[in-house]
Structure 1
């Protein structure tokens, strides 16, 4: 009886040791990855700018870095910043003007983790219909021009282009209209012209015969950084190795996106309004593979010039170091 009891005890010890050993192996594996967390919720927008992110998902770049990344579709960049503050997401796609204005307000501290998209010629255009009397920048005086928000990238690029063309930006009536609604409002006469981006530039040109009045990604805005993935300052401090892994995966995807055919193929998979035909004809910006302070500094400097922020911002304070 004693022998049987000893055997049972020994068996129980062996099982317990096995369980402990198994758990220890799991912990070792997790610590060996060096990541503070392996799951990230990322806010994205159904726009061309985000194509490298979806290429990274498709090609397993995040998985290769030990990350499980779940995209969450945002209504707009402002929602992304709000959800970052509440802790609903870890990273969010945001235009730089929106992120910079949020920081300038003093309500939130943000960090740029990935520089995502850079403007190129004819990417952000002011369009008017052929029957319109608007043929040149000066014709926009006292006219209604739609922008996707009364603060942010639209007013910044439009004001810069108008000033370069010798037109007082204050003489133009900017009205807020979501990008998808701009072609219809242009056709209905609710607006006189539209500051608009791809794929809507191509769609309005093909369907309505709309023509470009001003290319706003020129002059001071030529090659201007547009948007990227941002986090809260607290998140960047808490998860440096995790965000470094995200940066490495995105750098591969950004480099891959330099091949236009890769972008064309991925666009219809997450933007349902883009057909392969449209994807093959739209203007596409460029995708940086590194964070460059001098390049990014152009954004707050231009914003301060046009009164979108009141304080000088040193962009170095917003950058997450790259590994």
Structure 2
């Protein structure tokens, strides 16, 4: 009898050893939540996000990030509104456009990633003592009308006493992805460019960086993580975990050098030399482009609407609390 019980115990133990890994895997899958993120473009400007991904901060929170690049604000917002994505990384102006169209399920900004414009003014000719007046009478190759880069560009020009529509020839009908090629092929005396293209053009002698729109425009919610109100309500705990991962990455970026950051995010820019990634990261870090916490504050929101208004692109004034959720970020930062 004792021998029989012993054999049964051995069989049970062996069975448990076989099924235990399966049970653990099943539990793990149940605990891990997938979040589909659509980023407006792939840019070193978003370094803290890639740090969060590469350093495993989302995994630590039990989240699996399904990332896709949607190449353009309109396409990114379409993906979010059509439930092709759960979270979007794009400019806050898009939430105002959607709200003004009478959206029943508005898109809410809940975690800020960048807090300045990310473009630079590049001149075709080398200018030793640049003045913004040098743009008067020139041909300026700008960005798409209604997008944040173009609105900030016009805001900065007006700040320096330049009417972008009368004091210069303004070109803004070229597709975003084709702007660098247009300048390289000879179009325009000046161009507004994101990194790393601005630094690449300088290295190749195609143009010369003469000013930073980010330094000139002040703090603005330039790139923010956002989601539909319904998704935030139904997935509040997951969004807290998401924001916690972002905040952890923001603090890591703040306390590490451009060289260290570049090494971490390099896998997301396989076609870019590590030295160039470091140069670009240093440019953005030095001008304070990377937000050091996920809170989008009211002053930044008002600056955004002022920039949009001056460009004639603000459909209506929207109260800060209507489209900005700081509750999640504040709770994460307290912990």
Global fold match (TM > 0.5): yes
| Change in CA separation of 1:62 and 1:315 when aligned onto 2, cut-off 3 Å | same
* 1:104 CA displacement: 2.9
Residue in structure 1 matching 2:228, options 225, 229, 232: 232
User: Distance in 2 between the 1:149 and 1:263 partners?
Assistant: 30
Residue of structure 2 in register with 1:310 after alignment: 315
Counterpart residue number, 2:267: 269
Q: Deviations over 1:56-78 (max 9, x none)?
A: 12222111112121111212222
CA positional deviation for 1:223 = 3.0
1:114 to 99, 111, 114: 111
Structure 2 match to 1:217:
214
Matches within 5 A, 1:87-166: 87-107=83-103, 109-119=106-116, 123-130=118-125, 136-141=131-136, 143-166=138-161
Give, in whole Å, the separation in 2 of the partners of 1:131 and 1:114. Answer: 39
How much does 1:136 deviate?
Answer: 4.2
Q: How does 1:34-53 map to 2 (within 5 A)?
A: 38-44=33-39, 45-53=41-49
Does the aligned pair in 2 maintain the 1:115–1:288 contact within 8 Å?
Answer: no
- Which residue of structure 2 aligns with residue 10 of structure 1? none
Which ranges in structure 2 are unaligned for 5 or more consecutive residues? 1-18
**Maintained 8 Å contact 1:38/1:68:** yes
What is the RMSD computed on CA atoms of the aligned residues?
2.9
In structure 2, relative to structure 1, the CA distance for the partners of 1:98 and 1:177 (3 Å cut) is: farther
CA contact (8 A) 1:130 1:211 kept: yes
Deviation string for 1:66-96 (max 9, x for gaps)? 2121111212222111011111110011012
* Post-superposition offset of 1:209: 4.9
TM (norm. structure 1) is 0.80
- 1:239-318 alignment to 2 at 5 Å? 239-258=235-254, 259=256, 260-282=258-280, 283-284=283-284, 285-297=289-301, 298-318=303-323
Shift in Å at residue 166 of structure 1? 0.9
Unaligned runs of 5+ in 1: 1-18
TM-superposed CA distance for 1:142, in Å, is: 5.3
TM-score (norm 2): 0.77
CA contact (8 A) 2:76 2:88 kept: yes
Q: Distance in 1 between matches of 2:100 and 2:322?
A: 12
In the alignment, does 2:166 pair up with 1:191? no
Q: Which residue of 2 aligns with 1:4?
A: none
Residue in structure 2 matched with residue 56 of structure 1 by the alignment: 52
Match of 2:202 in 1: 205
CA distance in structure 2 between the aligned counterparts of 1:115 and 1:58, rounded to whole angstroms:
19
CA distance, structure 2, for counterparts of residue 271 and residue 148 of structure 1? 23
- Greater alpha carbon shift after TM alignment, 150-159 vs 284-293: 284-293
